[in-house]
Amino acid sequence: MVTGVFKDVPPNSTMQFNFLMSWATSPEWQKDTWYLHESYSFVKPVPGTDIHEIEAKFPALAERYKKGPALKDLKWAIQLIPLADIHLNPAKQYEIEAKGNRRAVSFLGMVALVILIIACVNYINLSTAKAIERGREVGIRKVSGARPAQLIGQFLLESTVINLMALALAVFMVGATDFSIRHLMGNGLSYGLLFDGSLYLRSALVFMICIFASGIYPALVLTGLKPITVLKGRYSFSKGGIWLRKGLVTFQFAISLTMITWTFAVYRQIVYMSGQDLGVNISQTLVAKAPASTEDYSRKIAAFKNALLAIPGVTGVAGSGAVPGREVAEFLANRRYGADLKDERAYEMLKVDHDFIKLYDLQLVAGRDFDKARPSDSTGLVLNEAAVRQFGFASNEEAIGQRVWLEVNSGKPNEIIGVIKDYHQQSLQQGFTPIILFMDPNYGWIPTRYYSLKMNARNMTASVEQVRQTWKALFPESSFDFFFLDAFYNRQYQQERQYGNIFLLFSALAVFIACMGLFGLTAYATARRNKEIGVRKVLGASVQNIVSLLTWDSLRLIIVAGLVALPVSLWLIAQWLQGYAFRSDLTWWQFAIPVVALVLVAIVTTAYLTIRSALMNPVLTLRDE
């Protein structure tokens, strides 16, 4: 049981719903039952109340009223969640809106932070690489009497101006790309954020950290230069500074490689889930939500199904309590005939009709389907393999003919007539759950919620319109709400796709920023080595030798980055995949491809500079020696 707490609710918060019903006028049994999954409670605690104390008292209260051995392994409790936090908490049954993913939001926030760090690293590297050029300026200012604090303030002010320009550009880009964000994430920007004071505080904090992180080290390096040395033109980079810059570049590419590898793994998992055999045929299936109950409902439903089968393009019709892609969400506590009450366990109960198994091409591995010619099949049961295992049968064949006590039955056990192969009722994130297919009229309170139609794709639009007209003729008081099952089922992977698209965008941005830094450092490195390159050419070095020499400096940093990033990526991806009951295998090539791709990008990034330096006339670089 989950309850919401009206506490610290933002003023712009809204609850989405289609209609409201009065709880006060609900039946008494509904108010008193402890097993009402679809009901949520919203409470307003007394100011100063310790929420955790309320949560801690509930399990003992529940044990006093909880009945039924099937629930003996379940612990009933309440989880009090602030109303403003509900959206990002894990989804529960009967949620009234699609939930967000707190882990994904946190992770993407971390990625954004990493990209900021990469940008700061670029600023540090390029600022210190220009130390020779700025060194004379610093030397003259020191000779003129400038104090270190003044110089540090100047460089931090430069960092502030650059970060302020970046902030203004970022705000403009976020506003300008609202449409793209809406398309990518399925949701646009909330302009209620403009009134969120904490957002401004966090943004200001990040802004100040970026100024300090990107500006303090270059400021300390440049203010630490000795005026005599730099004014004589004898300043050179220290080994510690060179290693620091190389380490920072390696860090950039290690992060970039980790993000590329992660993106690759996300898309592999999406492709894997999309390409797996679901064990159920969802193609060319139109699903209509069951109409509201009316007078002579059973006759109308029978007439509806017969009328649909007469429509060209409709090849099958079946009713059920749930369809693939949606949780069954109806449970009974059941046990084998002759077993003790303590052996009861919860099973998902999927109400079906005679045509359900055939329409969805569910594979029978033992026994038979429901047969209209056998009246006794109305109380028969068809189990999936997970249910067979939970009942404790040694094999699928052994289960056939066995009887089962269903919860709140009428005193007569139900016979198992068939076993179907496990199929994916929900996405591959979920494991196979024990499901019992039944038609028993004694459980009429478990409703038929959907009618599935197998369609012929030759003229889908015309067929759907004929179905609509048939519906209006028989159920004029109910709206014709329908969806195509393949699209509905694949919506379960929408969050993964959005997550992968955003991560791909972030990864590309991180690689682009890292390559900009590499390009800048290569430009300064080749400029410093122009005389060395000229001497090598005079001594007979070929263009190919020089290009290889200059390129190797960059490639070895990427190799080191790969040695650092790949083990980290392997561990992170393995941990992430634990959240999927069915997951793709990890292969060596999914880690090798990102490394090769990053190496090629680095070569292309530095190719122009290295080739230009290698082709330069040595006379131009050595004539002043």
Token pair for residue 198?
């904490």
- Rounded Cα distance, 514 and 463, in Å: 55
Q: What is the pLDDT of residue 283?
A: 92
pLDDT in tens, 486-520: 989 988 887 777 777 777 787 788 778 877 777 77
Q: Rounded CA gap, 51 and 43, in Å?
A: 11
Half-sphere exposure of 192 (CA within 13 A, CB side): 8
CA angle 388, 394, 398 (to 5 degrees): 75
- pLDDT value of residue 124: 77
The CA distance from 369 to 354, in Å, is 8
Q: Quick one: pLDDT at residue 87? A: 72
**pLDDT of 176 over the 90 cut:** no
Residue 1 has pLDDT above 50, yes or no: no
Q: Which of 217-226, 282-291, 473-482 has the lowest mean pLDDT?
A: 217-226
pLDDT tens sequence across 514-536? 777 777 777 766 766 777 777 77
- State the DSSP string of 373-417: T-GGGGG-EEEEHHHHHHHT-SSHHHHTT-EEEPTT--SSPEEEE
Cβ-contact 226, 136 below 8 angstroms = no
User: Token pair for residue 126?
Assistant: 């390029």
29 to each of 26, 313, 410, 443, how far by Cα in Å? 8, 45, 20, 17
Q: What is the DSSP string of 507-546?
A: HHHHHHHHHHHHHHHHHHHHHHTHHHHHHHHHTT--HHHH
CB 126 within 8 A of CB 517: yes
Residue of 73 and 486 predicted with greater confidence: 486
Q: Lowest-pLDDT range, 406-410, 432-436, 567-571?
A: 406-410
The residue that leads in pLDDT, 301 or 151, is 301
The percentage of residues in the chain with a pLDDT greater than 70, rounded to a whole number, is 81
Q: What is the pTM of this model?
A: 0.70
3-class state of residue 317 by DSSP: strand
Phi/psi zone of residue 349: left (φ > 0), alpha (ψ -120 to 50 degrees), beta? beta
Cα angle, residue 476 at apex, residues 473 and 478 outer, rounded to 5°: 130
- What span, in angstroms and rounded, lies between the C-alpha atoms of 516 and 601? 11
Summarize the confidence of residues 465-487 as an average pLDDT. Answer: 92
Q: What is the pLDDT of residues 291-313, one digit of tens each?
A: 988 888 889 999 999 999 999 88
Query: How far is C-alpha 318 from the geometric centre of its chain's CA atoms?
Result: 33
pLDDT band at 395 (very low <50, low <70, confident <90, very high): very high
Q: What gap in Å lies between CA 295 and CA 288, rounded to an integer?
A: 20
pLDDT in tens, 97-127: 666 667 667 777 777 888 888 888 877 777 7
Provide the pLDDT for residue 66: 64
Q: What is the pLDDT of residue 125?
A: 73
CA nearest 274: which of 453, 491, 498, 452?
491
The answer to whether the CB of 420 falls within 8 A of the CB of 382 is: yes
pLDDT in the model for residue 2: 46
Q: Tell me the two tokens of residue 346.
A: 């919860």
> DSSP character for 444?
T
Of 335, 441, 429, which Cα lies nearest the Cα of 390? Answer: 335
User: What is the percent of the chain with per-residue pLDDT over 90, rounded to a whole number?
Assistant: 22
How confident is the model at residue 422, as a pLDDT? Answer: 95
Q: What is the mean pLDDT of the chain?
A: 80
Confidence check: pLDDT of 480 > 80: yes
> Which helix (H) or strand (E) element contains residue 452?
strand 450-455
Beta carbons of 160 and 215 less than 8 angstroms apart? yes
How far apart CA 192 and CA 202 sit, in angstroms, is 16
As a whole number, mean pLDDT of residues 536-555 equals: 77
- What pLDDT score does 365 carry? 95
Q: CA 129 to CA 164: how far, in whole Å?
A: 22
Q: Are 447 and 321 in contact (CB under 8 A)?
A: yes
Closest C-alpha to 241, from 131, 152, 138: 131
How many other C-beta atoms are found inside a 10 Å radius of the C-beta of residue 267? 18
As beta bridge partners, residue 437 has 350, 382
Cα–Cα distance for residue pair 193/207, rounded to 1 Å: 18
Structure tokens at 584: 């793709």
Write down the domain spans for the chain: 2-88, 285-491
State the Cα–Cα distance between residues 308 and 289, nearest whole angstrom: 15
User: How far is it, in rounded angstroms, from Cα 175 to Cα 523?
Assistant: 34
580/273 Cα distance (integer angstroms)? 10
176 Cβ partners below 8 Å, 6+ apart?
Answer: none
How many residues would you count in the chain?
A: 625
Give the separation between CA 3 and CA 6, rounded to whole angstroms.
10
Distances (CA, A) of 115 to 121, 201, 212, 231, 255: 10, 20, 16, 37, 9
Per-residue pLDDT reduced to its tens digit, 398-433:
999 999 999 877 678 999 999 999 999 998 888 899
Give the model confidence (pLDDT) of 21-54 as tens digits: 788 888 777 776 666 666 777 888 888 888 888 8
